[in-house]
Structure 1
Amino acid sequence: MLDVGGTGGVRDRTGRTGVGARPPRLTRRVRAVVAVGCWLVVWQVASVALDQPILLVGPWEVLVRLVELVPTGAFWATVGRTLADVVLGFTAAALVAVALAAAAAASRWVDALLAPLIATTRATPVVAFIILVLLWTDASHLATVVAFLMALPVLYTNVLEGIAHRDARLLEMTRVFAVPWPRRVAAVDVPGVLPYFVAGCRTGIGLAWKSGIAAEVIGLPVGTIGEQMYQAKLFLATADLFAWTVVVVVLAALTERVVLALLERARRRLAGEPAPPLVDPAGGAR
């Protein structure tokens, strides 16, 4: 609601004044930019104080190295290879997690059988999985397998939790009125589970990227970001190491934003709401 004050102009419900109060999203972006800027200053000061480029380079040196890397075809081939492997592993984990959680929710026996497997997968160090996969097969798709194994327990647990917390009254109504299974899934199951699945995706995407890159650094599949990071460490090319780390952070953030935007579009479509654009008119991808 808007309130017209005597001297303060137009005021919205949050207390901001002016002709067209600033949207909260813009405020969050300003805070984010300021926060990133502060940490970049801290990084630069630490680099200058240490004065050891082999140990810590400044943000300017990293930016220069990124400008040199990005226009090359080898850079995009490397990024594409790692991106495909990690996204494939996460997507497979999401599909398998949904299927297993649905089966576990439908049968206590399935739940009991899967519980120790999921607990073991969650507790096993990522290095152990990397070594086992290297023993069983080559390193060509190591990142895919490891990303799958790391994301699966988180997604499975969240989806199972979401199924358990569906609206009991709506479920009872669907039983009383004999609502067909497809309509019940679209109207009750998906809206009830989706918030839990989204939370699992936020965590699972980060795990998939961290474990996938770790697998590449150890297994050294050719033409991957992990291989480039290992080569940078081997030749003490600290600027390269930081540059590739920045690339991984950006890729992980973009992956999360795209996945969450697609899930939001799916939710709105099921709810009969207009789907938001994937690109925000105010600037930037949603």
Structure 2
Amino acid sequence: MKKEHGITVLILVLLWQVLSVVVHNDILIPYPIDVLQYLLQIITTQNFYQSVFQTIVRVCIGFGISFIIALILSIISNHSKVFRTLFEPIQLLTKSIPNISYIVITLVWLGSEKSVSVICFLILFPIFYNNFLFSMDNEPQELKDIARIYPESFFELARSKTIPMLIPTILSSSKMAFGLGFKVAVMAEILGQVRTGIGRQLHIARLNLDTTGLFAWTIVIICICFIIDWIFNQLINKKSNGG
């Protein structure tokens, strides 16, 4: 974290402290020290790690499936105009449906436990597919000319040229998609009232009017998203530096 970022966080915490003193109502705005104590308390429990693990697993499943299918379909679309034309209505449909509609419909069809990963897949797939296809559409003309001069099989071309060319797009898209998928998964867990997960803990805190717990678990989500961003930034920087 940069020094400027630390200063911004400190200012936000000070504002939070001032607001909590002015409001003086834990149900509305808890004190930062109370949230910190709550956070230190829950991270020593087994339930904390089970909740975080279950949510991350659900996100990884949806993320992985959407990434693989989007990569395959985008490569096929790039090589086949017929397939691309046939798939365009589905592409537009997936981009147009609101996220909340995905969540509600999937919960009705599959129930709470099975739906979170499916919801992540439905929401993340258009991001991957559109970004991959856009990147391939903007492939340098020199590479296209080389592919025409030295034709290769579909699979060999994908392995040797297309996928390596997509690495920067894969990293940047994955960074955005994983963070979004994590937040969507928590939302789906809350609406679906799953048995275990971060969304479950937020739901319980809401029912009990435990705003301190809500703030603490929100900080957990922020920290996880920050770690995810940091990991992908390291990978992107490594790739940019020729790693």
Q: TM-score, normalised by structure 1?
A: 0.77
Q: Are the equivalent residues in 2 in contact too, given 1:220–1:227 (CA < 8 A)? A: yes
2:194 paired residue number: 221
Identity fraction in percent: 25
Match of 1:106 among 69, 72, 79: 79
1:205 paired residue number: 178
In the alignment, structure 1 residue 90 sits paired with structure 2 residue 63? yes
Change (3 A) 1:145 1:260: farther
In the alignment, structure 1 residue 135 sits paired with structure 2 residue 108? yes
Change (3 A) 1:57 1:182: same
Q: TM-score, normalised by structure 2?
A: 0.89
Structure 1 stretch 175-184 or stretch 225-234: which is displaced more?
175-184
Kindly state the Cα deviation for residue 217 of structure 1 after the two structures are TM-superposed: 0.4
Kindly state the Cα deviation for residue 187 of structure 1 after the two structures are TM-superposed: 5.6
2:180, 2:29 → 1: CA distance?
Answer: 26
Kindly state the Cα deviation for residue 49 of structure 1 after the two structures are TM-superposed: 1.7
In the alignment, structure 1 residue 78 sits paired with structure 2 residue 36? no
2:42, 2:225 → 1: CA distance?
Answer: 19
Change (3 A) 1:217 1:100: same
How many pairs align?
243
2:90, 2:155 → 1: CA distance?
Answer: 30
Change (3 A) 1:112 1:155: same
Q: Are the equivalent residues in 2 in contact too, given 1:57–1:238 (CA < 8 A)? A: yes
Q: Deviations over 1:226-259 (max 9, x none)?
A: 1110110000110111111111122222233334
SS of aligned partner of 1:161: helix
2:212 paired residue number: 239
Q: Are the equivalent residues in 1 in contact too, given 2:78–2:137 (CA < 8 A)? A: yes
Q: Which amino acid aligns with 1:81?
A: Q
**Quick one: higher RCO (CA 8 Å, sep 6+), 1 or 2?**
2
Q: Are the equivalent residues in 1 in contact too, given 2:106–2:115 (CA < 8 A)? A: yes
When Rg is computed on C-alpha atoms for both structures, the one with the higher figure is 1
Q: Are the equivalent residues in 2 in contact too, given 1:61–1:239 (CA < 8 A)? A: yes
Q: Are the equivalent residues in 1 in contact too, given 2:27–2:211 (CA < 8 A)? A: yes
Kindly state the Cα deviation for residue 149 of structure 1 after the two structures are TM-superposed: 1.0
Higher percent of residues as helix: 2
Match of 1:125 among 98, 101, 104: 98
1:35, 1:176 → 2: CA distance?
Answer: 55
Q: Are the equivalent residues in 1 in contact too, given 2:62–2:118 (CA < 8 A)? A: yes
Structure 1 stretch 200-209 or stretch 229-238: which is displaced more?
200-209
Change (3 A) 1:74 1:103: same
Q: Which runs of 5+ in 2 are unaligned?
A: none
1:134, 1:185 → 2: CA distance?
Answer: 36
1:50 paired residue number: 23
Say what the alpha-carbon RMSD is for the aligned residues.
2.4
1:87, 1:264 → 2: CA distance?
Answer: 23
Structure 1 stretch 184-193 or stretch 199-208: which is displaced more?
184-193
Runs of 4+ in 1 over 6 A off after TM superposition: 179-183
